Structure 1
Amino acid sequence: MRSVTFVSSLLLAHPNNKHIMVSTRSMARPADVRLAASARGASEGKEEPTKKKKPRSPRKKREPEPVVDDGLKRCPWAGYVEVDYHDKEWGRPVYDDVKLFEFITLEGAQAGLSWRTVLLKRDNYRKAFAGFDPSIVAQFGQDKVEELLQDSGLIRQRGKIESTITNAKLVLEIKKEHGSLSNYVWSFVDGKPIINRFKSMADVPLASEEAKLMAKEMKKKGFKFFGPTIAYAFMQAVGMVNDHTVDCFCYTECGGKPEHAMAA
């Protein structure tokens, strides 16, 4: 059986304003081959058999997400799944090394995904990565990597899993050099939170100069999945910056001054 070749002529405008005719050849598409076979079968008194379409199963209706309605004003991203995290963790200063390593891991795992996806898998990550104890995770070998890649409770991307082990080893090196991971990361904001005053989430940047510097320095040390955007998300999560909008009830709880205090 010969393949079908299509020849077409295109009228192109030449740079010198002269029109030239150009012939182009293209390989036959699968659809073109099927059409040719169908036409040949018809000429021989045969019809191309048609496949019966399977009836579509009705789509399951999504259950409406419960609405958080307690009278408190929050950042607009805090839906039903995120509300506890938003109210109790996001933007509140963290100085514990294990907790800081947890957020380095989770923020890196989020790359290319939604934060909601990560939150729903957070407990699985805690179990899989020994409660985020870097001294234990640093000892994980290749067999453990293969085991974790089979764990449906995790984001099963080899690079992200291997980077967690690499980053754990680097955290231990930082602790030797700086006394703690906390001392090191908080040094990028001079040891105290940066209090921003954003009226809308649209005003919040993807990264700050501090985040860019931290990402650059940590990349030099060998950290993976920790670019400027992830570094800034990490800073937001552990309270190195307060990026709650000024009308969110958490803004003042995380060190921001209320509007009337600023006006005074």
Structure 2
Amino acid sequence: MEPLVFDGVGTIQVYEPGGKLKFLDDKITKVTLQLQFDWDKVMGGDSGYAFHYTAKDLADKASIEIPRYSDILAELSQGAESEKGAVTFDETEQGFLDVTNGYKIKALSKFGGTLVSLSEKVYLKDTDTGKLTELTRVATTPTAEQYVISADGKITSDTANDNKLIIITFKWTKENGTRSGLSGKRRPKPFKFVHRFSLTDDRNGGEVPCQLTIWKALGGGTLDVSQERKKPTSNSLALEIMEPDITPDNPEGYAAELIFGI
């Protein structure tokens, strides 16, 4: 095989031990595999050269960078527990009380959520000093120190508070959501990692299919969920290469394998 320049990105595939596809992404920015073999020198006599070399443990390194978040990526790299179902959000809103319509919480219609009963707190905010005055919830006929809220999130108060700025803190739920639970005792599970990419044959300009397979890998690294204005995050997943089982797909028991269609 003629030498090739590695400049492909391609896609990554992650499989559970039973062979089920768990994760697929084609928006990766980097895949690295750095194979390293080192020796311990055995010295003796007067020579400055070693007369024997003992192999150290292999120090192969593999990693990927992905510029977006996934709950599956959290499982692979951090051992997070993913759950699908109802989720609850903590929300804040602010706006002015309308003379006739009060104020309608926007998050419920915006996200298709449901207000958590008795979760809201309403404050009047002084636009000059920023001072917050908490209002008390009542069922009907509120005074200037009170408010009423309907099941769909409409807040009304006494006419003395018309056109005043209010701040509302509340919780709302959504039936179809995703939760990544991060336990202090978490540990990632092993998986099979495949990087499928293509390179260019400089002799004829043809496309060469290539694939990197790590038969048993363990995740780690940094899952970045920080937020910074005008700066996207990039997640770095470090892959620890493990000794795999011998299987019909991997009869030689290779830890990692590179194949080229040329």
TM-score of the alignment, normalized to the shorter chain, above 0.5:
no
Which structure ranks higher in relative contact order (CA pairs < 8 Å, sequence separation ≥ 6)?
2
Structure showing the higher helix proportion among its residues: 1
Structure showing the higher strand proportion among its residues: 2
TM-score by length of 1: 0.16
TM-score by length of 2: 0.16
